[in-house]
Structure 1
């Protein structure tokens, strides 16, 4: 701990010792130049520090300690650039620029690709877009500092965004995938990143946020008009193929809407577009999950459209009305219907059993999903007061059916993991004239999860789960100078009813309840560039299960620190200890089948887990040079984890909770650097992570200590080296190594999986595009070999329509082999892949 304190003090000293210069930038006639760039550079022209002038023409340039710039360059559009020795810069100095004359035949004027104004970065879409990009997500993925994940989630500097605005309005809420993946890049002028974004206006400058928000700025011809897209795609493979879309949208200052119907059976997953992607308030992510889930196959590290045999339909509607200057009403609804067929061979080795038995399964199943969601959100958000009321509802009719060959024995399979839920979230806060803050929050949700499961013995398990949860708190923040003293009172209550029955047996129902009241005093301080928050949650928890009662008094302290060391560098760190009571799903001690052949028995004992966590982060953001970097070391230790005794009882794999517990410790580090270059619109990104997890498992009643090492490295790039050629690529490697520290003979051999993507786009003439997409997968297991896939497409794009023909899997295999390594199971799987397919598609702007 003393080393961590020393590190923080060292960083504090460095940042406080930085040299700061202030002054103004004017024109020769005395006019103030707003947004002028002031850059300090070394002799090798590398940027040391930079800033932009404010709306008063003032600059504030901070030079980090230890840096020795050689020159200062000041520039502004329409004026001649001025460069002078750094030694000539004086604090309070006014720098004068002279208007410059441009010879248009000799000089090309180009818009800035990234512009920084305060806490807002503005990325020019034209500056990063390449000829093959269609949706705005395609362009965002090429912007340094931003990433678009496989599920559609957007991250900035390694952290998920908390809002996705369109022209400053929150039309999409947390389901922004529909907009991100379907709005055409043709309609977007720029993408703004709002750093450290606090969405509640009255809390800005009070409640600090490390998350950013995204805002799409539309082109003028896309505002206040109805626009849309219609796609019709038809083709053939082993079956008739389709890929269609109909979308309409309108974005006004007081009204926005986006409506869409979409379908396909070519392997594209549509449910990702309506996932709750934004980080929700206090981690509230919706309804409680049950014991059962849909059947699945071991998903290979390939694109979804290589192995997914789907028939998917998605309908989504989003409407937002500005009901006043500071108020708005948002209504959303969507439905997802899908039928996916799966064929899979899997061989599993159980590492927790002394003889390490091998189970061979061959499944042929169909998953049918019918999921419907609705949301209504009213919000009043002014500089002094905030009121929000959010109501959500969810219902599904999901079902999996099929057959399984279990060690050569045929068995029927069926599971119905149904779920219905309703959630209400209310928040109200007010900031007084003295800066004091009153805040009230009330959140409740009820989930009903009726389920059925056909087990390997031919018996049907029926589940009847009801979960109710409410969280309520009152908060008062007293402002003292630039600091805040805070008191928070809250009460949380959970009621969980779990009923289980086998075939015609009577249902066995047990109830778990948790009442937790707490008081959280906290303090937040602002010293120059430093923000420090200290709090301690003092809570009384009362658990009950059947006739048993358990009482706890817990203290959860935490400390966080943030420092904006320079205009381009930011440090942060947090440290905390938390107590989390076990919930009903981890306590219920009547045997429950969680899959057709896996049974779990808990110990019926009320307890809690206790975790110690520490995280540090460093971010470097330099839009002038296009360089973005972030690194995050983490440490987490959780005690109170239950050890389960594993056994094979005939064909049933049973996990029985014991009275033994263990602590799991994870040390990890994650980092990513991305750099854009003006030449060829080049973007290069390199990311890496390494985690070491120490845990324990029971093997024949003996506690075995084990360690899992996971390493992941990714390298991605995109560029357009010539007018007729564009290149995109990505390479990933994932390395897994599991070692049994107690019994080395039970360790598993390490696995290394490599995946490479290379996409070439050729533009032979105006409007024409040829594309070749390559995907290569290989592993250190020589018996599996190398898998190479190739797709080819040709397209012609006019101003308002596009026609394309795509041939997928021209080179490929019909099956994919893979070996995966987990904490307790090692698996070898073979997954059926899609055949060669051809699709013709016509798209038109409406």
Structure 2
């Protein structure tokens, strides 16, 4: 404790000394009328062109230039777009100064100022431009590491990017989409040394004609500007590595190449490794085939038919071995001034092994089970796209996208279940070969200054064909039938199989018309339809001990369902601006119909609803806003939930649908506050959301030991959730520090063994973090998080506490050596004297001569050779503590060459 206090005091003294040795310049920038200029650029540099400090004026026109050296001479340049720049030389500065500046009308000299020294940050309308070299120190390798050092920008471990607390939709390079704008592929692959400027595009919309008509204030994209010399020719890098760990040889091969010109851009990515570094994950796959954000606002109703994805839940953090083979090509060709043609092809193969040990308590019966599981999985996937953007004039835009994806998956799982019932061995086999063909054709037309039309259409055709096989064997006894509902013949073991085939055709068409009343208001008339049809077939059969088949033919086992869904809608939105407020109320009227034909009977349900919505935004200033959102939605499930025949949901689960289901009604209200102050790089983000779900589709479950039989129902009890969070951060002397907190309170209901069971979950966590960005020496990124989880379902309560410390540090040693390490430490405690502690350490030592294209690295992962990470989950049926085995310790030598 004494040692910690001494270190703390020494740091305070050091900061105080540094502060005493530095001075600052503050003041106000105004125009010729004396009006303060917000977002003016102020920069101080020395005669040798070394950057001293820079600032951006706030809404009062104030600026500050901090940490200037005493006894030094600085040139201060002040600029604002459209006004004549001012230059001021301050000689031999000794104390804090106040300097005010007046900018007069004259030629725009901003470019001339930038020739002398690049402004680290400049703001041009809705675009924030960061000069990459002003925030990096040369140790960065990929785009994600560059973005992480920019004020207001965050990049998580998955490569998702947030700016000012808002998710980035798309990443472009020189104005062109990089693999559909996928943020992870961009942050993990674009070389850092090719980046000149990072442009943050606020109020983003892909279609310029729609800009300002809707509420795009929270939509953000990023455009990467390449350095001079990185255009009109190939660049990239090639990486190779070899090593050893976990009784296996380890390898990595990663050649990547990029070409950009005015007419053509080409990106080629390849990745072969068994280091547990997959280039393409299930989340990436979903981004391409399962989610597309339209350029117009949603209408609040519809049906989710899912995606024909073969990916299973195995993730890198849950694997004991991962081997990846990945290749991708993306190109955009400017065929003419009016036509762009876009294509990509992505090929991926991932072989994964995973192992778990779960300590389960089945809440209703009190049955305790230890379940040991190992899984081997092979996934092959391919995605192809052909798209075109056609803009013959400024009033008409047409775009087409056609995507085709196909996957092949096979997984084998072995389980051993030990409980009061005895020891049971379970073997599972799953395989499928689904495909998806997804096309969209959109048109946007401006008829004069007051009339704008949009027609967006989409057609989806997909097929899923999963096969499931499970063998269950209770050791030492004659096995009882796991499910009486199936009519199984007596066997030992019981071998169950299920074929499933789902064909889906879905068509969406939406027509929007905007009548622009004036610069501050418009009317939006919406009409459209969603039509979906599905053929849903399942069959369950038993393989007997002599190899023969029991087909289990009955009206209650298996399904042959024709399911149709239709939504016709029309509505009106009115947007108007008054002062600092923007109001957008709306009403959308829907006519829904579900129709199923099964067991020689047709069932039809019609539902009409009017869905209200309201958006109120208060802009305190350009970078500070308060937004209130309310909307009501109705969501329907697909054929899977309406099929009345029994379906195997797993080796120990049966479920049945319900063709009387109605749509789920959600009322959601959300309040958001954002403030990003470029004056002192202070960022505040807070939000709170309340959601009430009526007619929620829940499960009526019968629990028998570890086996469950469930039916989907519309619950008469509402589910409710209240969640919120906030972050405060500020940069002080090249150190970004901050606090964050998140909390959620959820109430939901299910029927278990005939009784309604209400679960109440309260989770809350608190973090403190700091990140340095020094040009030389040691940099760090540290975060401490304290999390609490309180769960109560009326029969069983569980409380847990998690302490997590994440520490990353890197050290540029001279001009050639670079050392980096990251350490994670976790302490988990839960009800029942459950306590688990685990930690992980990784390190990299890198060597590169100045100006050399060759780089050499020695890299070690899981240095402490930890076997597993531990976590706890709590549900209405089972509470589980899980040990997830991870990749073993391995060390490899890596060589990289910059093309």
Partner Cα distance (1:691, 1:340) in 2 = 34
Give the secondary structure class of the aligned counterpart of 2:813. coil
Q: Write out aligned runs for 1:156-555 (5 A).
A: 156-209=163-216, 210-237=218-245, 238-272=247-281, 276=287, 280-281=293-294, 288-289=305-306, 296=313, 304=316, 307-351=319-363, 353=364, 355-381=365-391, 383-407=394-418, 408-455=423-470, 456=472, 457-482=494-519, 483-503=521-541, 504=551, 508-546=559-597, 547-555=602-610
Count matched residues: 775
Take 2:779 and 2:773, find their aligned partners in 1: how far apart are those partners? 4
Offset at 1:654? 1.9
Match of 1:691 in 2: 744
Match for residue 764 of structure 1? 813
Question: Which residue of 2 is the match for residue 135 of structure 1?
Answer: 142
* 1:295 Cα deviation from its structure 2 partner: 5.4
3-state SS in 1 of match to 2:498: strand
Task: Specify whether residues 774 and 114 from structure 1 end up closer, same or farther in structure 2 by C-alpha distance, changes over 3 A only.
Answer: same
2:870 matched residue in structure 1 = 817
Residue among 724, 734, 738 paired with 2:791: 738
* Kept in 2: contact 1:167–1:215 (CA 8 A): yes
What is the CA–CA distance in structure 2 between the aligned matches of 1:783 and 1:187, rounded to whole Å? Answer: 50
Aligned-pair CA distance for 1:753: 2.2
Q: TM-score, normalised by structure 1?
A: 0.85
Alpha-carbon deviation of 1:649? 4.0
* Aligned counterparts of 2:89 and 2:176: Cα–Cα separation in 1: 36
CA distance in structure 2 between the partners assigned to 1:184 and 1:475 by the alignment: 41
Taking the aligned partners of 2:589 and 2:60, their CA distance within structure 1 comes to 51
Asked if the contact 1:599/1:654 (under 8 Å) is kept, the reply is: yes
Unaligned 5+ segments in structure 1 are 1-19, 27-32, 59-74, 98-108
Equivalent residues in 2 for 1:118-133, closer than 5 Å? 118-133=125-140
**Bigger relative contact order, structure 1 or 2 (CA pairs below 8 A, ≥6 apart):** 1
Provide the C-alpha distance between the structure 2 equivalents of 1:325 and 1:77, rounded to a whole number of angstroms.
Answer: 41
Q: Structure 2: give runs of 5+ residues left out of the alignment.
A: 1-27, 43-55, 67-77, 107-115, 473-493, 542-550
Give the stretch that moved more between structures: 623-632 or 246-255: 623-632
Deviations 1:651-674 (A, max 9, x none): 532223356432111111122233
- What does 1:76-87 correspond to in 2, within 5 Å? 76=86
Aligned counterparts of 1:662 and 1:638: Cα–Cα separation in 2:
9
Post-superposition offset of 1:39: 4.5
User: Which of residues 879, 887, 892 in structure 2 aligns to 1:826?
Assistant: 879
TM-superposed CA distance for 1:646, in Å, is: 2.4
The structural deviation recorded for 1:494 is: 1.0
Partner of 1:656: 711
The residue aligned with 1:843 is 896
**Shift in CA distance, 35/774, structure 1 to aligned 2, threshold 3 Å:** closer
Report the CA distance between 1:362 and its aligned residue: 1.1
Aligned to 1:558: 613
> Are the aligned partners of 1:388 and 1:427 in contact in 2 as well (CA < 8 Å)?
yes
State whether residues 292 and 417 of structure 1, in contact with CA within 8 Å, keep that contact through their aligned partners in structure 2: no
The answer as to 2:826 corresponding to 1:777 is: yes
Could you tell me whether the CA contact under 8 Å between 1:268 and 1:305 is conserved in 2? Answer: no
**TM-superposition CA deviations, 1:361-392 (whole Å, max 9, x none):** 21122011001111122113564222111111
Q: Deviations over 1:76-132 (max 9, x none)?
A: 566779x9999x99xxx86699xxxxxxxxxxx874432222211112222222454
* Segment drifting more, 33-42 vs 790-799: 33-42
The structure-2 alpha-carbon separation of the partners of 1:581 and 1:816, relative to structure 1 and needing over 3 Å to count, comes to closer
CA distance in 1, matches of 2:819, 2:694: 56
- Tell whether 2:812 aligns with 1:754: no
8 Å CA contact 1:349, 1:826 repeated in 2: yes
Q: How far does residue 783 in structure 1 lie from its aligned partner after superposition?
A: 4.4
**Deviation string for 1:782-809 (max 9, x for gaps)?**
6433212222332102331110111222
CA distance in 1, matches of 2:702, 2:726: 40
What SS does the aligned partner of 1:222 have? coil
Distance 1:444 1:358, change over 3 A: farther
Any idea what SS the aligned residue of 1:134 has?
coil
Deviation, 1:772, is 2.8
Q: Evaluate the alpha carbon distance shift between residue 634 and residue 147 of structure 1 in structure 2; reply closer, same or farther with a 3 A threshold.
A: same
CA-CA distance at 1:180 after TM superposition: 1.8
CA separation of 1:326 and 1:672: change in aligned 2, threshold 3 A: farther
Query: In the TM superposition, what whole-angstrom CA distance separates every residue of 1:486-536 from its partner, at most 9, and x where no partner exists?
Result: 222212101122111013456631121111111112211133433221211
- Cα distance in 1 for partners of 2:738, 2:385 equals 37
Equivalent in the alignment of 2:623: 568
The alpha-carbon distance between structure 1 residues 505 and 329, as it changes in their structure 2 partners (threshold 3 A), is farther
- Aligned counterparts of 1:589 and 1:292: Cα–Cα separation in 2: 24
SS at match of 2:215: coil
TM-superposed CA distance for 1:685, in Å, is 4.1
In the TM superposition, residue 24 of structure 1 has moved relative to its aligned partner by 4.0
* 2:693 paired residue among 631, 638, 642: 638
SS of equivalent to 1:841: strand
CA distance in 1, matches of 2:87, 2:647: 70
CA distance in 1, matches of 2:596, 2:414: 38
The range that moved more, 138-147 or 538-547, is: 138-147
**SS of residue paired to 1:221:** coil
Question: Which string of whole-angstrom CA distances, capped at 9 and with x for unpartnered residues, describes residues 803-822 of structure 1?
Answer: 01112222242233332234
